[in-house]
Amino acid sequence: MTDLSGRVALVTGGTRGIGLATAKALAEAGATVVLTGRDESRAKEAAAAAGASAGLALDVTDAKAVSTLVRGVAKEHGKLDIVVANAGIMEDALLGMIKEDLVDTTLSTNVAGTLHTVQAAARAMMRKKTGAIVVLASIVGEYGSAGQTVYAASKAAVANIARSAAKELGRSGIRVNAVAPGVIDTDLTAGLAEDAKADNIARTPLARLGAAEDVAKAIRFLVSDEASFVTGQVLGVDGGLVL
Ligand SMILES: NC(=O)c1ccc[n+]([C@@H]2O[C@H](COP(=O)([O-])OP(=O)(O)OC[C@H]3O[C@@H](n4cnc5c(N)ncnc54)[C@H](OP(=O)(O)O)[C@@H]3O)[C@@H](O)[C@H]2O)c1
């Protein structure tokens, strides 16, 4: 089992789904974990469920709040080793139906939110010249998806945040990677029609939807020393759906 004892980790969007499963997986491996969500009481409840040391309120669209929270966590624990920029939203719209609001909310959460988190993480990790960051891309960011142009564009940007930050931060001992999940059974995909789910399963070599824990295990690998020479990668966690 991966050993993360002595590591301090922060997971954004840790109140449910992939973020909650990741917080649990990191805590089970021995890390001290802080998770965040937009609502403080939901974050506290999730922290208790995950075995995390704290659950804090944070909206990742607020650059100043992200910077303050990340600095605070690093100060309280004396360092910050692992950051998982997981918070994200998904809303579908066909090209002709895309409203400006949807563009703003999606880009400010998925792109700017991830950027704020990676930026703050890099600042906190730079001093110790070590750290591992994972961001949440998606298969649709790599391959596109009808009805998901805005979301796919946001996730393509997230993958390139990982690649660019990896190039910039490598010499400071900081690794940055992305995971690109396929269709994972969480609140985010709960609205998918049953026939769309069945179609996805039929096209997936491993013949099922992903579980949040499948993605969490891949993230735990990427932030661990097992991945010590891995940076700038976008790791598919999709059961082979894109093949
Ligand atoms: N599920 C999939 O099939 C799938 C596939 C590819 C990629 N992903 C990506 O994986 C990540 C997690 O997805 P999920 O399926 O676990 O989604 P989820 O179950 O809907 O959870 C989303 C999490 O993000 C948080 N969040 C949303 N907006 C936020 C904001 N502005 N500031 C801070 N936190 C915010 C939510 O917290 P609160 O609501 O409590 O604030 C929640 O904890 C997302 O980036 C998503 O795009 C998911």
Domain positions in the chain: 8-234
Backbone angles phi, psi at 55, to 5 degrees: -125, 120
b/e 111-144 (16+ beta carbons within 10 angstroms → b):
bbbbbbbbbbbbebbeeeeebbbbbbbbbbbbee
**Nearest atom within ligand 1 for CA of residue 90:** 47
Pairwise CA distance, residues 88 & 235, whole Å? 18
Which residue, among 177, 139, 167, 168, has the nearest Cα to 155 in the 3D structure? 139
Pairwise CA distance, residues 149 & 29, whole Å? 37
Q: Which two tokens stand for residue 1?
A: 């089992």
Ligand 1 binding pocket mutation candidate from 10, 12, 16, 40 (most atoms within 8 A of CB): 16
Which one of the listed residues 35, 60, 141, 151 is annotated catalytic? 151
Residue 151 designated active-site: yes
* pLDDT for the residue numbered 39: 98
* Residue indicated by tokens 């997230």: 158
Q: Which top CATH class is 8-234?
A: alpha beta
pTM score over 0.75: yes
Q: Is the CB of residue 111 below 6 angstroms from any atom belonging to ligand 1?
A: no
The string of pLDDT tens digits covering residues 102-122 is 999 999 999 999 999 999 999
Pairwise CA distance, residues 62 & 29, whole Å? 30
Ligand 1 binding pocket mutation candidate from 90, 111, 116, 214 (most atoms within 8 A of CB): 90
Distances in whole angstroms, Cα of residue 52 to Cα of each of 1, 23, 60, 135: 19, 7, 19, 20
Is pLDDT at 92 greater than 90 in this prediction? yes
- pLDDT tier at 1, thresholds 50, 70, 90: confident
